[in-house]
Amino acid sequence: MELNEGRRRLDREAWLLLLISGLFAAATALSNTFVNVYLWKINGRFALIGWFNLVSYVAMAAAFVAAGRLAKRVDRVVVVRLGVALQAVFYLSVLILGRESAGHVTLLGAFMGIGAGFFWLAFNLLYFEITERDNRDVFNGVNGLLISAAGIVAPMLSGWIIKRLDQLTGYRIIFSLSLGTFLLAVLISFFLKRRRAAGRFRLADILRLGVRRGSRWHWVSLAMIAQGAREGVFAFLIGLLVYIAAKDEWVLGTFLAVSSLVSLVTYYLAGRLMRPGWRDECILVGALMAGVAGLPILWELNTWTLFILGVGAALFSPLYLVPLTSTAFDVIGESQKTARFRVEFVVCRELFLSAGRVLSLLLFLWWVERAPSPEQLRWLVLAVGFAPVFAWLAIRHVPLPEGKGR
């Protein structure tokens, strides 16, 4: 990847932010999927897992607004630090509660959601301020590489630890490792330069722009809802279904590692080869193929068909995620006027993503009340898997950067 060529070069601040993102990804990869499995082993109900994730997404949306106000009045580096620290508090709470965690999923979901909301709001603000249009795809590619690398090593380590030890002891060890990794990310955040913003927090104006048909931000907002709809269910359900089918944490860890390895290669290629003029085609191909990868589960829902789904999603999702993210931030930075409201734009973007996640979780909870078996969930998984196609239908209305035609 040509990181030192002209304006595509990433500076020290960008690399520090990438390091924090990598540590956050490592801590998350160690435990996040296994938290859902842990709750499943304690309770065994899809509805409880769905409620935990729904609370997390709602708390995340509320945290975006609170973090936006804080970033506008104080400093976004402080906000990213708070987000990572709150994630550490979540894992500390799980360690303290142990088997009682299933009885406190509302509290735990709130901790996880608020921490994630603070982190991602500040991360995206810093990402916008540190990168430029010319190196944004490079940053996204490198960030995807780090996330994928963490996703290769961490889940296999978690699965191996749980397999080798008494299972509850194994879970406590991986949750402790996540806690320590989050604390390390907090320490590194002190090396980032402080970045303040001035002016009133005018979120309502940007939200109105998001629902005003015809504006570029309206199409970006619709695309974010579609992206969030897929993420809301896929973020926890696919890994949980793999565990239910295999009944083995090592198999789950291997599944997550293989998916991340494939994703790493795709992110590398996307970061190196992606050009602004290709974004439309990449989003369409990536969205369609990520959905097609789920078709084998229609014949049978087992470990192998779920592996095909996971690996296929890992192969094609970066093709639409990298250009979709870059396009959204290009719209935010298209003029000095819009860039002045970057805090509000980033909060708005995250709220629309959260809206998509919440909608898909509500659909999931409705579904499992009527069709609670894993086999009956495959229709929901397949439908949600094609949601990014609607993101392409929306984002294609946004003109390409630098005046390039379609």
Question: Has residue 6 been placed in a domain?
Answer: no
Question: Has residue 281 been placed in a domain?
Answer: yes
Residue type at 97? L
- The answer for residues whose C-beta is within 8 angstroms of residue 13's C-beta and 6 or more apart is 126, 130, 192, 193
pLDDT at 167: 64
Question: Has residue 41 been placed in a domain?
Answer: yes
Q: What is the pLDDT along the chain (406 residues), one digit of tens a residue?
A: 444 444 457 777 888 888 888 998 898 888 887 888 889 888 888 999 999 999 999 999 999 888 888 877 777 788 888 888 888 888 888 888 888 888 899 999 999 999 988 888 888 778 877 777 777 777 877 887 788 788 888 888 988 888 887 667 888 898 899 888 888 888 888 887 776 666 677 888 888 888 888 788 899 999 999 999 999 999 889 999 999 998 888 999 899 889 888 888 887 787 777 777 778 888 899 999 999 999 999 888 899 999 999 999 989 988 888 888 888 888 887 777 777 787 788 889 989 999 999 999 999 999 998 877 888 888 999 999 999 999 999 888 887 655 444 3
| Tally of domains within the chain | 1
Question: Has residue 403 been placed in a domain?
Answer: no
Phi, psi of 373 (to 5 degrees): -80, 150
pLDDT at 403: 46
Instruction: Return the axis-axis angle of helices 342-370 and 378-385, rounded to nearest 10°.
Output: 150
Question: Has residue 13 been placed in a domain?
Answer: no
Q: Which of 170, 222, 258, 243 is nearest to 355 (CA)?
A: 222
DSSP 3-state percent helix, strand, coil across the chain (nearest 5): 85, 0, 15
Phi, psi of 18 (to 5 degrees): -65, -35
Q: How far is CA 152 from the centre of its chain?
A: 16
- Return the C-alpha torsion angle 145, 284, 155, 184, nearest 10: 50
Output the furthest CA–CA distance in the chain (Å, rounded): 60
Q: How far is CA 88 from the centre of its chain?
A: 18
Do 78 and 192 meet the contact criterion of CB atoms below 8 Å apart?
no
- Burial class of residue 198 (count of CB atoms within 10 Å of its CB; 0-12, 13-18, 19+): exposed
How far apart (Å, rounded) are the C-alpha atoms in residues 226 and 206?
19
Q: What is the CATH number of the domain that holds 383?
A: 1.20.1250.20
Residue carrying structure tokens 């396009």: 327
How far apart (Å, rounded) are the C-alpha atoms in residues 350 and 360?
15
Question: Has residue 10 been placed in a domain?
Answer: no
Instruction: Please report which helix (H) or strand (E) contains residue 15, including its range.
Output: helix 12-43
pLDDT at 295: 92
Q: Which of 37, 307, 27 is nearest to 162 (CA)?
A: 37
pLDDT tens digits, 172-225? 898 899 888 888 888 888 887 776 666 677 888 888 888 888 788 899 999 999
Do 127 and 333 meet the contact criterion of CB atoms below 8 Å apart?
no
Range of the domain at 36: 18-192+199-398
Instruction: Return the axis-axis angle of helices 303-332 and 388-395, rounded to nearest 10°.
Output: 20
Rg (CA), the chain: 20
Question: Has residue 12 been placed in a domain?
Answer: no
Do 80 and 55 meet the contact criterion of CB atoms below 8 Å apart?
no
Q: Write the Ramachandran bin of 361: left for phi over 0, alpha for psi from -120 to 50, otherwise beta.
A: alpha
Around 203, how many Cα atoms within 13 Å sit in the side-chain half-sphere? 19
Question: Has residue 337 been placed in a domain?
Answer: yes
Please tell me the pTM assigned to this model.
Answer: 0.84
pLDDT at 13: 82
pLDDT at 198: 62
pLDDT at 225: 94
